[in-house]
């Protein structure tokens, strides 16, 4: 089947004069998750992993993917004639090196420029140019071949009322235009879906786990055009657009609109974030306009939660904590008595979250990892592979919910029976790191690169580490991973990492992963707040939002410093005070016990 599809693709390539066709895994908006419409790489290769790039030539094809997927890809590519390129392995060229090595003189590179970033597209164009060929980027060859392709998603669009968003679209547009004026921009082009959803106070369900609509936006001093499928909009939403002077245009008219705008207004100053746009947009803008390459102002604006959002988030985190803590009670009192799997416990947790009326959907695919599976950072249980959960060892559950009052993200690792001393030491270390960062105070001006050490130093002093950031920003009923704020120490990652502002929300989630044995991660969300201002400047601190007990069965108090013991006791006292009104009887007794002073 795959060979037949590739054969058709090669015919289409011949027709279009394309010698090398590149199919990455992305949508038109550089989103973290993509819908079925965009699974072109899966269609032509049979490989179902979440990351990979297929490169097709007249007589061969190669799939590039990373270490998470080597085994799965090898199995799924078997018999397809596609070579698996194991990224990062010795002797395996990088994707672009491979393309350059194999492209012959005069040959052309093709791809759908809408699913390739501007940066990558520029590099492919350079490679083609070196060989005397060129890039063809305005064709989606899957269109003619993939006859039963799912439609582009176009779910119901809904308004986020001011009681949830805390700021009217007209005010957001005004703030954006003030920023445009300061940058002397004539027009601002926005293609990232979370920025657009935030700016227009609109939500939908076009991308799994991220309540956005597929859309582009073009904002000038007077006009705002939203390019989206009108069929998703109800009367109320259309009225809101009119009220705010926003013109709704067809989703697929965006590129021609930009091209014609740039033709009409040669020399216009266009503000956009070159790192986030696709190559097709870059080619449509061409050379006539002056590009002001800036982070999208909305990225910083939406990262700073306003007082309405903050108040909603406090409430919804409490509701979420009630659900997760009841899950903890259920899990710890029933494990070993009733059958459980990694997937069934996740279902139980989702059911408890759904009891809250404003729950919409999970904010990402739960990572439910039991025993050695907890050591796989990006683990995702499948019905075939998922482990039984038994009354021993540890279960790590990283999950979250989208609610009208905001988005949550929490990890707890639960002790289900006997654990080894090593596990207890690891568990204690992770808890110490999480609490230390949570209790950090700092002067205004710090970024996540300054503060990452607060969590990581207790790891580093033991020669340990975790190979991921300590935390990421979280959207409000938007992406669960949202910049620019984060906790990470590598400066190279920090280009868009900005100073912590009051109102920013960041996760605090150190972890330890012992291959083949166990994993521990503990994650709270932290709201950045202003503290004392004195002669030294404005001090800042983090308000904890996550009130779920840290499993004391995993804690060795003798391995904690006095101030860390004080921190966990204060935290548990807060947990008890916040949660007690929602618990009674045996559950309340249990809550008192699991939040006891140690």
Binding site for a copy of itself (CB under 8 A): 440-443, 445-447, 449-454, 457, 460-461, 463-465, 467, 489-491, 494, 499, 531-532, 534, 536-537, 539, 561-563
Q: Which is nearer to a copy of itself, 132 or 537 (CB)?
A: 537
Q: How far is the CB of 516 from a copy of itself (least distance, A)?
A: 13
Q: How far is the CB of 488 from a copy of itself (least distance, A)?
A: 10
Secondary structure of residue 241 in the 3-state scheme: helix
- Token pair of 153, please? 């998603």
Q: Which is nearer to a copy of itself, 446 or 588 (CB)?
A: 446
Instruction: Give me the helices (H) in 244-336, please.
Output: 254-264, 279-285, 297-303, 307-334
Q: How far is the CB of 523 from a copy of itself (least distance, A)?
A: 20
319-322: Cβ within 8 A, 24+ apart: 319/356, 319/358, 319/403, 319/405, 320/353, 320/356, 320/400, 320/401, 320/403, 320/408, 320/410, 321/410, 321/546, 321/547, 321/548, 321/575, 321/578, 321/579, 322/356, 322/579, 322/582
Residue 421, judged by CB atoms within 10 A of its CB (0-12, 13-18, 19+), counts as: exposed
Q: How far is the CB of 542 from a copy of itself (least distance, A)?
A: 13
Q: Which is nearer to a copy of itself, 129 or 493 (CB)?
A: 493
Comparing CA positions, the residue from 391, 458, 469, 399 lying closest to residue 431 is 458
Comparing CA positions, the residue from 60, 143, 164 lying closest to residue 104 is 60
Helix or strand run (H / E) with residue 163: helix 162-165
Q: How far is the CB of 5 from a copy of itself (least distance, A)?
A: 41
Is the Cα dihedral 31, 36, 37, 40 positive or negative? positive
Tell me how far apart the terminal alpha carbons of the chain are, to the nearest angstrom.
62
Q: Which is nearer to a copy of itself, 148 or 461 (CB)?
A: 461
Q: Which is nearer to a copy of itself, 33 or 444 (CB)?
A: 444
Q: How far is the CB of 357 from a copy of itself (least distance, A)?
A: 41
Q: Which is nearer to a copy of itself, 308 or 446 (CB)?
A: 446
Rounded to whole angstroms, how far apart are CA atoms 435 and 430?
A: 9
Q: How far is the CB of 333 from a copy of itself (least distance, A)?
A: 37
Q: Which is nearer to a copy of itself, 277 or 451 (CB)?
A: 451
Tally of CB atoms within 10 A around 576 = 18
Q: How far is the CB of 130 from a copy of itself (least distance, A)?
A: 16
What percent of the residues of the chain are helix, what percent strand, and what percent coil, each to the nearest 5? 40, 20, 35
Q: Which is nearer to a copy of itself, 136 or 451 (CB)?
A: 451
* Residue found by looking up tokens 């808890």 in the block: 431
């Amino acid at each position: 089947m795959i060979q037949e599809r590739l054969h058709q693709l090669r015919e289409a390539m011949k027709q279009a004069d394309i010698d090398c066709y590149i199919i990455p895994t992305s949508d038109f908006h550089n989103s973290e998750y993509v819908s079925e419409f965009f699974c072109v790489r899966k269609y032509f290769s049979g490989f179902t992993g979440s990351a990979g790039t297929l490169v097709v030539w007249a007589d061969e094809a190669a799939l590039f993917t990373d270490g998470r997927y080597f085994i799965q890809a090898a199995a799924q590519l078997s018999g397809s004639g596609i070579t698996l390129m194991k990224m990062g392995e010795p002797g395996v060229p990088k994707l672009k090196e491979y393309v350059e090595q194999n492209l012959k003189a005069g040959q052309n590179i093709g791809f759908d420029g809408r699913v390739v970033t501007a940066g990558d597209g520029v590099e492919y164009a350079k490679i083609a140019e070196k060989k005397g060929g060129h890039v063809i980027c305005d064709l989606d060859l899957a269109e003619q071949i993939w006859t039963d392709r799912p439609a582009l998603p176009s779910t119901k669009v809904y308004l986020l009322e001011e009681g949830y968003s805390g700021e009217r679209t007209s005010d957001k547009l005004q703030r954006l235009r003030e920023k445009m004026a300061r940058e002397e921009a004539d027009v601002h082009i926005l293609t990232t879906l979370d920025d657009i959803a935030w700016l227009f106070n609109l939500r939908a369900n076009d991308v799994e786990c991220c309540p956005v609509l597929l859309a582009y936006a073009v904002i000038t001093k007077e006009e705002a055009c939203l390019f989206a499928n009108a069929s998703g909009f109800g009367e109320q939403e259309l009225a809101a657009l009119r009220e705010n002077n926003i013109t709704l245009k067809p989703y697929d008219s965006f590129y021609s609109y930009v091209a014609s705008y740039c033709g009409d207004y040669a020399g216009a100053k266009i503000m956009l974030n070159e790192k986030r746009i696709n190559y097709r947009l870059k080619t449509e803008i061409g050379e006539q306009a002056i590009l002001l390459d800036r982070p999208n102002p909305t990225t910083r604006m939406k990262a700073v939660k306003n007082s309405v959002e903050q108040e909603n988030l406090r409430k919804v985190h409490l509701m979420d904590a009630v659900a997760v803590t009841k899950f903890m009670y259920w899990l710890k009192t029933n494990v070993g008595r009733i059958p459980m799997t990694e997937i069934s416990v996740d279902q139980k947790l989702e059911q408890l979250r759904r009891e809250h009326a404003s729950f919409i959907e999970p904010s990402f695919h739960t990572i439910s990892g039991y025993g050695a599976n907890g050591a796989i950072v990006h683990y995702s249980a499948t019905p075939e592979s998922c482990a039984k959960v038994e009354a021993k060892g540890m279960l790590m559950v990283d999950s979250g919910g989208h609610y009208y009052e905001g988005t949550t993200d929490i990890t707890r690792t639960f002790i289900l029976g006997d654990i080894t001393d090593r596990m207890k030491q690891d568990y204690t270390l992770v808890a110490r790191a999480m609490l230390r960062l949570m209790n950090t105070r700092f002067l205004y001006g710090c970024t996540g690169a300054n503060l990452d050490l607060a969590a990581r130093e207790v790891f580093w002093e033991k020669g340990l580490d975790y190979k991921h950031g300590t935390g990421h920003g979280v959207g409000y009923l938007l992406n669960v991973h949202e910049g620019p704020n984060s906790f990470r120490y590598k400066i190279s990652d920090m280009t868009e990492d900005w100073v912590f502002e009051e109102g920013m929300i960041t996760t605090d989630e150190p972890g330890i992963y012992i291959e083949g044995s166990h994993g521990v991660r503990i994650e709270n969300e932290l709201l950045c707040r202003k503290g004392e201002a004195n002669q030294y400047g404005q001090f800042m601190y983090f308000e904890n939002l996550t009130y779920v007990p840290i499993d004391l069965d995993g804690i060795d108090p003798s391995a904690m410093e006095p101030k860390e013991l004080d921190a966990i006791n204060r935290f548990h006292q807060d947990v008890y005070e916040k949660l007690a009104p929602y618990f009674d009887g045996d559950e309340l007794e249990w809550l008192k016990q699991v939040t006891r002073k140690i």
